[in-house]
């Protein structure tokens, strides 16, 4: 599928922001006053910035508020509600730390749980789509939650947790790629099954459905070269997981911590680009993309 920059920014930044809010909700690091304000400011800049970026992919951004109306059936709507609830709960919790030096633990735990629920809701927007077999797997929410927790631990300065969670996320990332490479084939979806003409034998399009480009081609039929994809996977693993771990094993320093965070952010952005670019929407079958 077409890797729209707005959606890449959204999934990368919001996951990192809500991951940091999760750790802050648990009281880690144990900060108050202006130090707490800085941590919460970073978390909100990432979470809210990512959510705002997602609206730029809408055909009518002014209608974004309608996303709140379909919470019974839509994971997008559930994400909207859980994100607002998480941000409100964590704002109140953060106010206690910043202005009163008081840790309202129950409110922090609630905000932490809602932050993870937001990331899960985001992942299920993609993970429940039957039309994209690469995404339709329990590995999708598991991977996005692991990345969020690992990135949040990195930002929160939770070195031990980050050293455990980053390798776990890396393993899940590789498993997600390996499983996804054969997902369309294993789903059994073909031109024959799509048209219902399998009983007559192999089916192929006599000519393309359209003589020019259209919305479906722009959004759902994107092809990334195999060699290009492999290079980006190496970059994603190296920058997103391996380099931060190596940096964290060095004697602690603020510069090293910043480099680890920047490397992780760049690596996850690369993996997010692949998340969309390698996703084969079944509508591509009608355009000769087998």
CATH number at residue 80: 1.20.1630.10
More confident residue, 26 or 289: 26
State mean pLDDT over 250-265: 95
The yes-or-no verdict on residue 267 having pLDDT over 80 is yes
DSSP 241: I
The yes-or-no verdict on residue 207 having pLDDT over 80 is no
State mean pLDDT over 1-18: 93
The yes-or-no verdict on residue 43 having pLDDT over 80 is yes
Domain tally for the chain? 1
Tokens of 186: 């294993």
Query: Would you place residue 208 in the very low, low, confident or very high pLDDT band (cuts 50, 70, 90)?
Result: low
State mean pLDDT over 254-274: 97
The yes-or-no verdict on residue 192 having pLDDT over 90 is no
What is the reported pLDDT for 217? Answer: 74
Sequence-separated contacts (24+) of 187-193 with Cβ below 8 Å: 187/133, 189/133, 189/282, 189/285, 190/285, 190/290, 191/285, 191/286, 191/290
State mean pLDDT over 59-80: 87
> Mean pLDDT of all residues in the chain?
92
The yes-or-no verdict on residue 79 having pLDDT over 80 is yes
Query: Would you place residue 289 in the very low, low, confident or very high pLDDT band (cuts 50, 70, 90)?
Result: low
More confident residue, 280 or 264: 264
The yes-or-no verdict on residue 206 having pLDDT over 80 is no
State mean pLDDT over 200-210: 74
Which residue range(s) make up the domain with 68?
A: 5-287
- pLDDT tens digits, 92-106: 999 999 999 999 999
Per-residue burial over 167-197, b if 16 or more Cβ lie within 10 Å, else e, is ebbbebbeebbeebeebbeebebbbbeeeee
């Amino acid at each position: 599928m077409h890797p729209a920059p707005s959606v890449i920014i959204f999934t990368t930044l919001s996951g990192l922001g809500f991951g940091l809010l999760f750790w802050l909700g648990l009281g880690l690091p144990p900060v108050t006053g202006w130090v707490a304000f800085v941590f919460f400011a970073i978390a909100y800049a990432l979470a809210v910035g990512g959510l705002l970026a997602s609206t730029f992919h809408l055909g009518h951004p002014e209608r974004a508020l309608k996303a709140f109306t379909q919470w019974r059936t839509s994971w997008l709507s559930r994400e909207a509600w859980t994100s607002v609830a998480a941000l409100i709960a964590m704002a109140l919790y953060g106010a206690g730390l910043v202005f009163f030096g008081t840790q309202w633990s129950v409110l922090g735990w609630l905000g932490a749980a809602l932050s993870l629920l937001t990331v899960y809701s985001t992942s299920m927007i993609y993970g429940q789509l039957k039309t994209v077999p690469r995404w339709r797997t329990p590995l999708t929410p598991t991977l996005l939650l692991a990345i969020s927790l690992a990135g949040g631990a990195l930002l929160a300065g939770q070195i031990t947790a980050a050293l455990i969670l980053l390798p776990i996320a890396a393993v899940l990332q590789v498993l997600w790629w390996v499983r996804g490479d054969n997902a369309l084939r294993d789903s059994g979806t073909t031109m024959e099954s799509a048209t219902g003409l399998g009983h007559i034998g192999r089916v192929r399009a006599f000519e393309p459905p359209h003589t020019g480009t259209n919305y479906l081609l722009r959004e759902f039929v994107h092809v990334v070269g195999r060699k290009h994809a492999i290079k980006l996977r190496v970059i994603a693993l190296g920058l997103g997981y391996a380099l931060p771990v190596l940096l964290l094993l060095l004697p602690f320093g603020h510069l090293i911590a910043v480099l680890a965070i920047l490397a992780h952010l760049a690596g996850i952005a690369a993996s997010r680009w692949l998340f969309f670019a390698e996703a084969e929407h079944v509508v591509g079958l009608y355009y000769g993309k087998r």
